[in-house]
Structures are given as structure tokens and as C-alpha cells.
Structure 1
Amino acid sequence: MKIVNTSIVFFFIALTFNACLLKPTDPKKAHEQAITIDTHVDTPMQFLRNNFDIGSLNEAPTSRVDLPRMKQGGLDAIFFAIFTNQRQRTPTNSSLAYHMAHQLIDSTEKAIKAHEHIAELAYTTDDVIELEQEGKKAIYLGMENGFPLSENINHVQEFYNRGVRYITLSHSENNAICDSSTDPNGPEHHGLSEFGKEVVKEMNRLGMLIDVSHISDKAFYDVMALSTSPVIASHSSVRALCNHPRNMDDSMIKTLAAKGGVIQICILGAYIQPEDTTSLNYQKHEELRLKYNNWNYSNEEERQQAWAEWRQLNELYPPVLPSIADAVDHIDYVVNLVGVDYVGIGSDFDGGGGLSDCADVSDFPKITEELARRGYSKSDIAKIWGGNFLRVFKEVEAKAADYDRASL
């Protein structure tokens, strides 16, 4: 009888097992099988232009998002931002912001309705799964800047009823809800205002995601202490890698993760790497910012003119942008800090987002390729591209249902 050396057998079994573990992820399959979601783009502003068609291929810089390029990029769902810039808080300006938000929703509904055979507005976590199975794109709505609430708590439910599923509480300046991370005048409320606290409670009750991108650090911690649901940062990056007040520091990321939230890495160059303030691109944009009073427009025509000049400057003085690898460094950082369950992607396309090798949503498979190259598994990639965000969204919905049952 021949005696088998069991140690050699186990050696080869272990070798085979390890070889399977080390088998590289197929980025194409990983991207195709994931539910891919971009949680922040500013495309609705384009709908106010008569010649923009979301169903046609629109090359940058006209827009970086349309339905053909969503298909090319394997993107299943996207959040369109209902954005209003912050103006002085007068009754007139508050009314203008309120009506502008409704106008943007109206125009988005019209644009998607014209292409309902390939895209539909979505409202729940289940919608993206169902629409993906039908071969359609899911278009969600988020509100960037709570200014249109006009200090009326009833407007939270009004916009929820219109399909808005998250509110970015502030933008680049303080509003009636909370302080901004970038207001040149510094804090006003020193966190959340009393109205802001009511907004957080109402969003929890309705099942509306609270978005902490843009808000001050103190406002962030106020939200984390008050909210009974996990929250999101729809388009923010890592402050340790790019020291910008719009980004989140380690303590904030840990606090967000501890409460089950998610940070969606923003691929806008200034939030990935510090800007080169000596470049002509930077200096010309600073001149433009001052020309338009720190982007405080007196009317819609002035806003459109400013955006046209912004695009022209980028053509005349092309920015030197970070790469996909630089952006994935931010994903790596979050994963190493708190784990792979708390990070995703929010591009900020059509609001300044873009990388040297990721110009629009059709380039998203390149991000998956970089993730696979760094050893992320298919499961990890699915979490980063949408699974983590959907987990948070689902929990927010569930907690709102608990509110309803408790009120019966």
C-alpha cells in the first residue's frame, strides 16, 4: 500500500485555494453586475436651456450627463440635484428660490417623460432594481441647498411629495437651516439653527435622506447627534488627502460610519487635490467669482452668462485635473479608516466634477478598473458603486415607516 504524504496534499490544496482567492476581479463583469449609482450631478440646470436634450449625446462641456452616456458608462441610477444658489435671505429671494426649485422639478419631469422608454423618475430603493430589470435608467431627485424651504417646515413634505429624496442642508453660504463650511463671513448659527433642527426631525419622519455635504463641521455634529436615521454626504471627499473645508476629516468620517452613514467621494478636482493657485485657470476663475459677487446672481440671465463664461475659461485655460487614481486614493483612505461599507461615489458632474481621465459618466467603468487593479473584490465594488448607499436609503425608509406605525 502506497502511503500518501498528507502534508504535501494539504500544501497543494492550500495553494489551489489561495490561487482562487488571488484571482483578479474582472472589472467588466463587476461593473455590469453592480447596481451603479451616482448620488450627485447638477444636470437639471441644463433643462432650462431650450436646446438641451437628455436623450441625445451631448459632448462636454455642454453637459457631462445624458441617457446615452449613462448607458455607455453602465450607470443604473443617478441623483439630479435641484440646485438653487444662496442669496441674501429676504422674502423676495426666498420666494424666488422656492419657485426656481419647482421649475427645475417641472423641467426634469418633462425631460424624463419624453424618454420614458429608457428612463423613469424613481422614488424608493426598490425602484432602481425594478427599472434596471426593465432595462431603464432610474432618475432620482435631491435638493442641493435648503434655501427653497423658505423657513416653512411644511415645504419639506411638499418637496418630498414632488419626489425629492434628499436635501443638502446648505450650500456655499449659511442659510436658515445651518452654517456652511465655506461661508466667507464665518458661522452664524454655530451649527444647526432651531429651524434646522425641525428640518432634521421632519426629514427623519418622512424618510428623506439628510445630506451633510457643504455644511460646517459643527452643523455636521449637530445633525449626527439629532438624527435618528443614518445620513449621507452626497458629494464630499477626504480632508486628510485634500485640506478643503468641504471635505470630511477623520473624526467626521468615523462618526458618520458609526451611525451607519456613507460618504460619496466627490470627483471634483479641488476636492481631490489642492488647487494650484498659481495657474491661469485658477486666477481667471477667481476673477470671475468676484465679477459675479461670489456667485450671487441678480437674475437667471446673469446666472446663465456666468456659467457660459466659466465654460469658456475652461476651454481657454484648461485646468490640470487629478486622475482616477487620485480619486480612488480617497476611497482607499475611507476603506482603511472605517471599512468598505461606508463609501461610494457622487461625481458632481455638471457642477464642476471631472477628472483628467474621467470626463463624463461614460468613463465610469475606468473607476471600476482602478478599483479592481487595487484588489477590490466584486462584492466590494458593488458596495462602493451603490450597495452602501442603498443600504442607508433603505434604513431611512424603514425608520420612516416606524414613525408612521407609531402614530397609529
Structure 2
Amino acid sequence: MGKSHHIWSRRDFITSLALAGAAGALMSNPMIAWAAQEEDPQIASIVSSMIGIDTHNHVDVPFKKEDFTRQKYDLRAEINKSGFAAICMTFCVDRPNLINEGDAYERFLTSLDEMDDILKTNNMSRALNLKDLVNAHKNKQPTVIQSVEGGHFLEGKIERLEIAYKRGLRHLGLLHDNQSAFPLGDIYTDPAKFGGLTPFGIEVVQKSNQLGILVDLAHCNDEAINDAIEVSTKPLLVSHTGLNTQLGSNPEMAKGMMKRLISKEQAKILANAGGLVGVWNHFAETPLDYAKNIRAMVDVIGVEHVCIGTDTVMASGEVNKDRPRRTTNTTWSNSKYGFFYEIVNAMLKTGFTKNEIVKIGGGNYCRIFDKATRI
């Protein structure tokens, strides 16, 4: 399949910013902040005035089918505590290793069933478009954008993407750690084999554009990212990474994670195409470290092209009680507030303005999510 080139024009960009501004006017009805009386009034005011979004957040689901039995998650309470208005509720299907054809699809459908149950028991729903996000925020209801990390479930069958769309999927991570049986492209932690995206990977990007699914290029190598930019008619993002110049204080971790980080040059390529780069909280020992990593990304690609993608776990189910995981709100042991409150506080201390925090904290994602899902 050939590749056609698409460049986001200045007019496209200005139009999307105007749309975000219009949405911002609808976001002004404040959400009741968790334990607001215990927080700095300025922090609580900023958080409640915006749609804060974590663009890559896991909700634990078990890997064995027999364990998918009405897990108990206090997801609503954890999101409210965090200060986020919404999370991109993400799961993957490539763990443990896939063996038989059909395994990935079965896990995908079972995981969606589990997500359905989690949302039902928490009296929550999925946001399918920007209007849903705005309405949920107006009604003081936390919400989720359904996401999957890796297109393994497709197994070479493009028609499954529409099935996923009808189940509420609106954010597709093209690749994950393990290669698909029907590859979509080169993973950044593996030796390159395909020179970027495969023909099927290109087809998936184009079909996602057509259906109204936002494509996430995390785990793609540079060539695969550039191929997706070339063929996509909608904005794209890399939801969770960091600059390869921001390596924290742990040399061993930096060495092991280097392939997962983005260069300044590649980040600029994505930003110039109208996309976003999400900053994760890896390499940040404190909220202030995290805010400094966000500042470093902004200095490279501009405030309009940065978002938050923590790659943390908002809620962990009972099936994993024997291996408890640090959750989003317990990322830093000495946290005084929920996660997003801590980040807003740290960003203010780092010199970010309220307007910049609103953009990075959710406004930028709302802009491209609207572009991607509007058909």
C-alpha cells in the first residue's frame, strides 16, 4: 500500500485551538475538588476549572480468563482523589505471551467485558467524544476514554477495529512491548525489521482516521512514527515517554529505559505535524522533578504540544492483592494531595501559568481527541 503525505496547515492548527477555546468556555463550571478544604485554594481552583486528563493510565485487569470475575475497584474514588477529570483507561493483551491465534482477540473481548463491569459498579461511563468529556465535567462526573495498548487483538483482521469502536474504543496504542502475530510496525525496543510501519499498520492508521479513533504511537520507533505522520489525516500522539536528555538520578534505570525515550528532533517532528507528546513520571523522584521534565519538553516543542501520560495504575484489583502495585495517587510516598493536585502545585512552583497548566493538563488532549473522533 502506498503512502500519501499529509501536513497540518497553520489554518488547521488555529482552527483546533479555537475549538479548544470554545470547549474551555464550557469547562468553566467547577467540579467539586476532592478534599478541597485541605488543599491550597489556588491549586483547587485551577484543577476544578479544567478537564484534567491522564492520557495513559492503567486499570489493572487480570491476565488469566478465570480471574475475570467481577473485580472490585474503587475507580471513581481514586480518580476523584487524583484531581483528574478523566483518564485514558488502558489495558494490554500481550501478557503473558500470546501462543495461539485467537488468544489476543479473546483476551481483548474479555478485558472489555471486565472494563464494562468496572464502569457499571462505579456508576461511570466512557467518553466517546469531546462533548461527552465536557458534559461529564459539567455534571461533576469522572469519566474514562477507553484505550488499548497494542493492536494485537486485530490479528490481521481490519474489521475488528470497527467492532472495537462499537465497544467504545477511542484511543488505540498501535504497538506494545511484544510483537503482534500480524505485525503493525517496528517496536522501539526491538531491532528494526520493517523499516517503520507494515502495510497492515498503515491500513490500521487510516481505518482509525476513518472510524474516529485517536492513534497513539507510543512504543513505535522513529521510522514507524514518521510513517504514521505521513499517512494520517488526523493528529497523533505519543502518550507516555520523556526526553532522552532527562535521565533522572538512577544511571541503571536510565540505561534500561533509554530506548523508550524520545529525542528532541523526533519530538519536534511530531509537534510540527500537530501532535502531542505525553510526559510520564518515570525519572521523577518528586512532583517537582516531574514538573521540571514537563518544562524541558515544553522548551523543546512548545506548550501546545505537551500532555500528561503517567503510565501509572489508577486502581488495582483484588486478583493482584498478593503483588500490590503503587497506584497513581501513591506515586510519591510523601504526597500531600492527590496526583494531579501535586503536579499542578509543582508546575506553579516551576513557573507555569494557569493557562499553560490548563493546556498541558488536558486542553491539548481535548483538542486532538476532538479532531480524531469527529467524523
Does TM, normalized by the shorter one, top 0.5?
Answer: yes
In the alignment, structure 1 segments of 5+ residues that lack a partner are 1-23, 56-65, 274-321, 402-408
In the alignment, structure 2 segments of 5+ residues that lack a partner are 1-39, 248-253, 314-324
Alignment-derived partner of residue 348 in structure 1: 311
CA distance in 2, matches of 1:397, 1:86: 29
Structure 1 or 2, whichever has the larger Rg, is 1
Alignment-derived partner of residue 394 in structure 1: 370
Which region of structure 1 is more displaced relative to structure 2, 346-355 or 33-42?
Answer: 346-355
Alignment partner of 2:81 out of 52, 68, 72: 72
CA distance in 1, matches of 2:187, 2:158: 20
Contact conserved, 1:173 with 1:182, CA < 8 A, in 2?
Answer: no
TM-score by length of 1: 0.70
CA distance in 1, matches of 2:344, 2:62: 28
Listed one character per residue, the Cα deviations across residues 273-331 of structure 1 (whole Å, up to 9, x for unaligned) are 6xxxxxxxxxxxxxxxxxxxxxxxxxxxxxxxxxxxxxxxxxxxxxxxx2222222221
Alignment partner of 1:258 out of 268, 272, 276: 272
CA distance in 1, matches of 2:336, 2:308: 13
- The residue matched to 2:274 in structure 1 has which SS? coil
- The residue matched to 2:125 in structure 1 has which SS? strand
Identity %: 25
**CA displacement at 1:353 relative to structure 2:** 7.5
Alignment-derived partner of residue 204 in structure 1: 209
CA distance in 2, matches of 1:182, 1:360: 36
- Counterparts in 2 of 1:1-400, with a 5 A limit? 26-45=42-61, 48=67, 50=69, 52-55=71-74, 66-85=75-94, 92=100, 94-116=101-123, 119-175=124-180, 176-183=183-190, 186-242=191-247, 244-267=258-281, 269=282, 272=283, 322-350=285-313, 355-357=331-333, 362-398=338-374
TM-score by length of 2: 0.76
1:100 is matched by which residue type in structure 2?
R
**CA displacement at 1:120 relative to structure 2:** 1.6
CA distance in 1, matches of 2:300, 2:362: 20
CA distance in 2, matches of 1:336, 1:389: 18
Listed one character per residue, the Cα deviations across residues 231-255 of structure 1 (whole Å, up to 9, x for unaligned) are 0112122122136111211111111
CA distance in 1, matches of 2:163, 2:347: 40
Structure 2 CA distance for partners of 1:209 and 1:51, relative to 1, 3 Å: closer
Listed one character per residue, the Cα deviations across residues 4-41 of structure 1 (whole Å, up to 9, x for unaligned) are xxxxxxxxxxxxxxxxxxxx993221112111111112
CA distance in 2, matches of 1:89, 1:52: 23
Which region of structure 1 is more displaced relative to structure 2, 126-135 or 141-150?
Answer: 126-135
CA distance in 2, matches of 1:241, 1:358: 23
Contact conserved, 1:25 with 1:372, CA < 8 A, in 2?
Answer: no
2:147 is matched by which residue type in structure 1?
G
CA distance in 2, matches of 1:361, 1:256: 33
**CA displacement at 1:115 relative to structure 2:** 2.4
CA distance in 2, matches of 1:172, 1:392: 25
CA distance in 2, matches of 1:189, 1:349: 30
Listed one character per residue, the Cα deviations across residues 326-364 of structure 1 (whole Å, up to 9, x for unaligned) are 222221012111211111111111288764358799322
CA distance in 2, matches of 1:240, 1:25: 34
CA distance in 1, matches of 2:156, 2:139: 40
1:69 is matched by which residue type in structure 2?
E
CA distance in 2, matches of 1:87, 1:133: 40
